[in-house]
Amino acid sequence: MDHLIIDGGCALNGEINIGGMKNSALPIIFATLLIEEECIIYNVPIVSDVINSVEILKKMGASAEFVDKNTLKINTKSVGNEIRGYDLISKMRASSYLMGAMLARFGEARLPMPGGCNFGVRPIEQHLKGFSLLGADTNEENDFIEIKASKKLKSAKIVLDKISVGATINIVLASIFTEGVTVIENVAIEPHVDDLICFLNIAGAKIIRVGRKIYSEGVNKLHSVQYKIFPDMIESLTYMTFVGACTGDINLTGINFEHIRYVTSLFSKMGFQIDSFYDEVRVKVKKKPLGISVETEPYPYFPTDLHPQFASLLCFTTNGGIIKENIFPTRFAYVNELIKMGANIKNINNSVYIYPSALQGACLDATDLRAGAGLVCAALGTEGKSRINNVNYIVRGYENLVGKVSSIGGKIKLIKGDN
């Protein structure tokens, strides 16, 4: 089993270039189904979820290749209405975007229930509510989901009962070729939603987001596009947790500071020195940070995708803190791994209580993508060697993690195989 060996306890110093946002690359790749012409997408992170999404579209008949590092050329003209690549679909939550994209292009979609990270039930009734209001019938049976419109989709007013990134994206995709203007209320406003909207608009869609409302005026056709994906805010915030656990002075380049303004203001309260300049941010941590308590909420507030990394960071603070998880209330599998390192941490209901802890190196199992990143944070901040198994989870979302951490002085190696 491929694993990471980390010899922690070193301060981190140097520069890291932040890649494109995985969470927008995935919907944008599936959105190319709506454009039956060539698309060139820049700043595509080379992570396994991206590779698998491209692979699914190739199995369905698309031509796709990386023409340069991080530049994807893709044309879905030859794709037929049959979804293929079931094995990959059931591993990946983002394959749910096939529902909206295929419904818009072919008026139907039949696929296995999309898989994803291991932190509990991830319902899709808001996605299905949107499709129904646009005029499609939906049916879930034997772990398969079928969506079918007997005639052209019609525009509608859709009020989401819950803020959902996935439902917002799927309904936007499904609305592109409807007659009239679809209005979606109570939408997610994560940068990945705006990234997709920018991509679609450059391809000819007519979408405006005003606060938590999206207006999408149907068009007849989308056209060829060249587009650069936004920087990955979670990747940049993850590296900030690493420097917080280890102390040091790092410069992150290629970022959009607006996307991380709220969370970096929390890091500042913890004693991080943060200076942003155009698309760079310099992060200095000279001594043990002060702990604070946070709760996860939809953007622009504290992201659920930073919860496990932040939990590890809190172990290295002077006073610890509490994290309340409001998005995925069972996202706590990492807690037992931190306990193996000697962490003083308790999960009660949907909160985790973290006290300052003297951690020791240990053999750990990554249980999902961000939990894996959290363990990397804990291991980097801890003197001595740690081993992290299940690297496959971590490579789903962090491009060249080992190279990037090494370049700022972290002692980390990827070991292929069991030894």
Among 298, 308, 381, 410, binds ligand UD1 (CB under 6 A): 298
Which ranges constitute the DSSP H helices of 60-96?
A: 86-89
Among 122, 209, 340, 385, binds ligand UD1 (CB under 6 A): 122
Q: Reading across the β-sheet that carries 384-389, which strands appear in turn?
A: 363-365, 384-389, 3-8, 411-415
Q: Which distant-in-sequence residues (6+ apart) come within 8 Å of 219 by Cβ? A: 176, 177, 204, 205, 206
Binding of ligand UD1 by 166 (CB under 6 A): yes
Segment (H or E) for 53: helix 48-59
Binding of ligand UD1 by 165 (CB under 6 A): yes
Among 124, 197, 315, 405, binds ligand UD1 (CB under 6 A): 124
How many helices (H) does the chain have, and how many strands (E)?
14, 23
Minimum distance, C-beta of residue 142 to ligand UD1, in the bound complex (Å)? 20
Among 305, 325, 337, 399, binds ligand UD1 (CB under 6 A): 305
Binding of ligand UD1 by 261 (CB under 6 A): no
* 277 token code pair: 């300049």
DSSP state of 346: E
Which 316-335 residues touch ligand UD1, going by CB under 6 A?
A: 327-328
Which 89-118 residues touch ligand UD1, going by CB under 6 A?
A: 93
CA 284 to chain centre: 25
Closer to ligand UD1 by Cβ: residue 167 or 294: 167
Among 77, 152, 157, 162, binds ligand UD1 (CB under 6 A): 162
- Residue showing the smallest CB distance to ligand UD1 in the complex: 166
Closer to ligand UD1 by Cβ: residue 122 or 340: 122
Closer to ligand UD1 by Cβ: residue 310 or 328: 328
* 152 token code pair: 């052209």
Binding of ligand UD1 by 25 (CB under 6 A): no
Closer to ligand UD1 by Cβ: residue 39 or 124: 124
Q: Reading across the β-sheet that carries 280-285, which strands appear in turn?
A: 12-17, 248-253, 280-285, 273-277
**Residue 265 burial (CB < 10 Å; 0-12/13-18/19+)?**
exposed
Count of residues engaged in binding ligand UD1, rule: CB under 6 A: 22
Binding of ligand UD1 by 397 (CB under 6 A): no
* Residue pair 158/130 in contact by the 8 Å Cβ criterion: yes
39, 117, 246, 377: the catalytic one is 117
Buried b (16+ CB within 10 A) or exposed e, 331-366: bbbbbebbebbebebebeebbbebebbebebbebbb
Distance CA(413)–CA(383), nearest Å, equals 16
Binding of ligand UD1 by 346 (CB under 6 A): no
Report which of 336, 295, 341 is spatially closest to residue 316, judged by C-alpha positions: 341
Minimum distance, C-beta of residue 409 to ligand UD1, in the bound complex (Å)? 29
Distance CA(256)–CA(279), nearest Å, equals 6
* Residue pair 133/156 in contact by the 8 Å Cβ criterion: yes
CA 375 to chain centre: 17
Among 3, 105, 127, 259, binds ligand UD1 (CB under 6 A): 127
Minimum distance, C-beta of residue 157 to ligand UD1, in the bound complex (Å)? 18
Active site residue 10: no
Among 125, 140, 185, 258, binds ligand UD1 (CB under 6 A): 125
Closer to ligand UD1 by Cβ: residue 188 or 246: 188
Taking contact as CB under 6 A, which single stretch among the options 159-167, 239-247, 260-268, 335-343 is the one that binds ligand UD1?
159-167
Taking contact as CB under 6 A, which single stretch among the options 32-40, 198-206, 297-305, 346-354 is the one that binds ligand UD1?
297-305
Question: 10 Å Cβ neighbour count for 249?
Answer: 16
Among 190, 325, 337, 399, binds ligand UD1 (CB under 6 A): 190
List of residues contacting ligand UD1 (CB under 6 A): 23, 93, 122-127, 162-167, 188, 190, 298, 303-305, 327-328
Point out the residues that are catalytic. 117
